[in-house]
């Protein structure tokens, strides 16, 4: 049984506590937050879980094997580093840190100490994204031509990071999981509508090797909640709509046919192809429970977790570059 200390009981912390509490292979030893009112909530709901405002108390408690960090992004690095130095396995709420250099420090620290360091990127643990992954891996979609995501709603304006770090991070983790290939450059545009605040809407284009492109539209100031993702393949195309209750993944047997005339390589005739549409049944289940299980498995088996820190750092690298491009009005920034 892995005993977890959860740092931060704000927006996401309660979900982590509930899942670590209900999982068979983990328990929650202590919840740490600076806000006593939040700790009282913990006490009412979970009378058997200890609470504290002292980080040291968590880190010094030898019965605690692992620490889960669900605090503001700017604090991820310091908290994770201290936890690693106290020899705890660490799960960090996404993103791993707010810059690549800090990610590298964390990765090195964890590697030297033989500790598990994992990021809570939740989407790869959902049934919907896993179904799309299996469609890609089985060749159902053919070559992947593009990934186009719209992730907008009237959302909380954050003051420490722009909307990329809050919303695009999800698409970047989905892309990491679905494709085994890294983007070569990113171009981003966006705007801040509140003086002195970071950008509240942004558009990212990821340039991949070959004929693949990805685009992510994120916006905290939209009248509608949209979570629509189009994935174009040379054989079939997927529409993934996370706001749908039961029909999240639709597979369209649609595409183009390219006929090359005998006369010239330049004379292409491109025709349509339209066939059936198919909605695979997804078994309901909480992604977070699976994520928690993966964290426990990685610790137990001393194995690399699915959403490991290396992957987390690659995602941070894209967001760092995208933020730079955004300030340069779309100028492409290379990603090594």
- Work out how close the CB of 65 gets to a second copy at its nearest, in angstroms, rounded to a whole number: 23
247/220 Cα distance (integer angstroms)? 25
Angle at 295 between CA 56 and CA 288, to 5 degrees: 100
Q: Does 179 bind a second copy (CB under 8 A)?
A: no
| Strand residues in 80-143 grouped as ranges (E) | 89-93, 117-120
Smaller CB distance to a second copy: residue 139 or 275?
275
Longest Cα–Cα distance of the chain, Å, equals: 79
Contact 169, 322 (CB under 8 A): no
By CB under 8 A, residue 3 contacts a second copy: no
Q: Pick from 81, 179, 213, 289 the residue near a second copy by CB under 8 A.
A: 213
Choices 24-32, 74-82, 96-104, 209-217 (CB under 8 A): range interacting with a second copy: 209-217
Is residue 211 within the footprint of a second copy (CB under 8 A)?
Answer: yes
Confirm or reject binding of residue 275 to a second copy (CB under 8 A): yes
Do residues 110 and 84 touch, judged by C-beta distance below 8 A?
A: yes
Beta strands in 128-266 (DSSP E): 144-154, 185-191, 201-207, 213-219, 221-233, 237-241, 249-260
Residues 32-91 binding a second copy (CB under 8 A) are 47
Q: Among 62, 196, 262, 336, indicate the residue that binds a second copy (CB under 8 A).
A: 196
Task: Name which of 66, 88, 96, 57 is nearest 5 in CA terms.
Answer: 66
Q: Residue 196 Cβ, how far from a second copy at the closest point, in Å? A: 5
The residue written with tokens 């171009």 in the block is 187
- Considering beta carbons, is residue 179 or 222 the nearer one to a second copy? 222
Distance CA 248, CA 250 (A): 7
Residues that bind a second copy (CB under 8 A): 47, 145-146, 148, 150, 152, 154, 156-157, 159, 185, 187, 189-197, 201, 203, 205, 207, 211-213, 215, 217, 219, 221-224, 230, 232, 234, 237-239, 247, 250, 252-256, 258, 265-266, 268, 270, 272, 274-281, 325, 328-332
């Amino acid at each position: 049984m892995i005993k977890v200390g959860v740092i931060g009981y704000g927006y996401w912390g309660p979900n982590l506590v509930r899942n670590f509490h209900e999982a068979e292979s983990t328990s929650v030893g202590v919840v740490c937050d600076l806000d006593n009112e939040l700790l009282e909530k913990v006490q009412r709901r979970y009378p058997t879980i200890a609470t504290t405002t002292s980080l040291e108390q968590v880190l010094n408690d030898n019965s605690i094997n692992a620490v889960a960090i669900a605090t503001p992004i700017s604090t991820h690095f310091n908290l994770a580093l201290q936890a690693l130095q106290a020899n705890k396995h660490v799960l960090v709420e996404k993103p791993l840190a707010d810059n690549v250099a800090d990610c590298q420090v964390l990765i090195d620290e964890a590697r030297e100490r033989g500790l598990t360091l994992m990021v809570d990127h939740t989407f790869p643990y959902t049934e919907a994204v896993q179904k799309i992954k299996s469609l890609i891996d089985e060749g159902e979609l053919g070559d992947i031509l593009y990934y186009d995501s719209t992730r907008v709603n009237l959302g909380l304006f954050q003051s420490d990071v722009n909307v990329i770090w809050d919303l695009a991070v999800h698409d970047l983790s989905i892309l990491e999981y679905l494709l085994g290939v890294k983007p070569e450059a990113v171009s981003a545009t966006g705007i801040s509508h509140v003086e002195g605040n970071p950008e509240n809407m942004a558009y990212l284009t990821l340039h991949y090797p070959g004929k693949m492109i990805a685009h992510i539209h994120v916006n905290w100031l939209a009248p509608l909640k949209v979570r629509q993702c189009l994935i174009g393949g040379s054989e079939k195309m997927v529409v993934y709509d996370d706001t749908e209750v039961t029909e999240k993944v639709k597979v369209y047997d649609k595409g183009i046919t390219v006929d090359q005339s005998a006369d010239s390589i330049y004379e292409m005739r491109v025709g349509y192809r339209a066939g059936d549409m198919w909605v695979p049944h997804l078994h309901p289940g909480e992604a977070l429970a699976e994520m928690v299980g993966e964290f426990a498995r990685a610790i137990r088996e001393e194995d690399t977790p699915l959403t490991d820190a290396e992957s987390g750092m690659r995602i941070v690298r894209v967001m760092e570059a995208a933020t730079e491009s955004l300030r340069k009005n779309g100028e492409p920034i290379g990603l090594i």
